[in-house]
Amino acid sequence: MGNPRQRRKARSSTYRPVRSTNAKRLRKRPPIKGPKVLQEAWDKAKTVRQNYTALGLLTRLAPGMEDDKVRKEQKMDEDRAATRPLPHGKGRIVRDESGNVVGIELAEDAVVEERQEAVNSSPTTDTVRALERLSASGRKMRRQASAHEVKWLSSLVGVYGDDVDAMAKDIKRNVWQKTGGELRRAIEKAGA
């Protein structure tokens, strides 16, 4: 005889295993948040890296230097590392036979120039040009306080007025333990 729960699941037509429910939830892709130009050019069938490449955007902030490469370079022995060019922003300590520091080698400008060329040589697409025009407009995005945050700050202001130090000390109303400066800035942003 089997477990009664297992028999009931076998008879029921409404039973769905958890794996199918999770798979359906994982297939849903979140909406792209960003400028309208980027939303229109985004291909939902592609991965993020593929979309960035198709749009002419960089997939990494430091092109040419993957995280794994940096870790491998750090693990290499000193003899092999001495012959390898240094990455930008890195240096090498030179020691004599007794272990005393003789000097410090810094990265050459040629390595920096190669990276700049890699950044500048990326193809400029219409989407990239539109994004550059958007960023050049200089329109700042203001942070919007949530309705709950405004209500919370209004209750603090209603009790303490302008005394942010007293607000910071009230552990029942100030449940997130915000400091006086944090509370002052939050009140200014929210307009409470």
Task: Pick 103 or 164 by higher pLDDT.
Answer: 164
**What is the spatial distance between Cα 100 and Cα 13, in angstroms, rounded to a whole number?**
77
Task: Pick 87 or 45 by higher pLDDT.
Answer: 45
Mean pLDDT of the chain: 77
Positive or negative, the Cα torsion across 181, 152, 169, 160?
Answer: positive
**What is the spatial distance between Cα 8 and Cα 22, in angstroms, rounded to a whole number?**
22
**What is the spatial distance between Cα 188 and Cα 155, in angstroms, rounded to a whole number?**
15
**What is the spatial distance between Cα 55 and Cα 123, in angstroms, rounded to a whole number?**
9
Quick check: helix, strand or coil at residue 93? strand
Domain boundary assignment for the chain: 147-190
pLDDT at 56 over 70: yes
Quick check: helix, strand or coil at residue 24? helix
Task: Pick 15 or 93 by higher pLDDT.
Answer: 93
Which pair of structure tokens corresponds to residue 79? 């003899």
**What is the spatial distance between Cα 192 and Cα 190, in angstroms, rounded to a whole number?**
5
Which pair of structure tokens corresponds to residue 147? 């309705």
For position 186, what pLDDT does the model report?
A: 93
Please state, in angstroms and as integers, the Cα–Cα distance from residue 70 to each residue in 58, 61, 91, 107, 117, following that order: 19, 14, 13, 14, 20
Rounded average pLDDT over 116-142: 75
Taking residue 132's Cβ as centre, other Cβ atoms within 10 Å add up to 10
Rounded average pLDDT over 62-70: 54
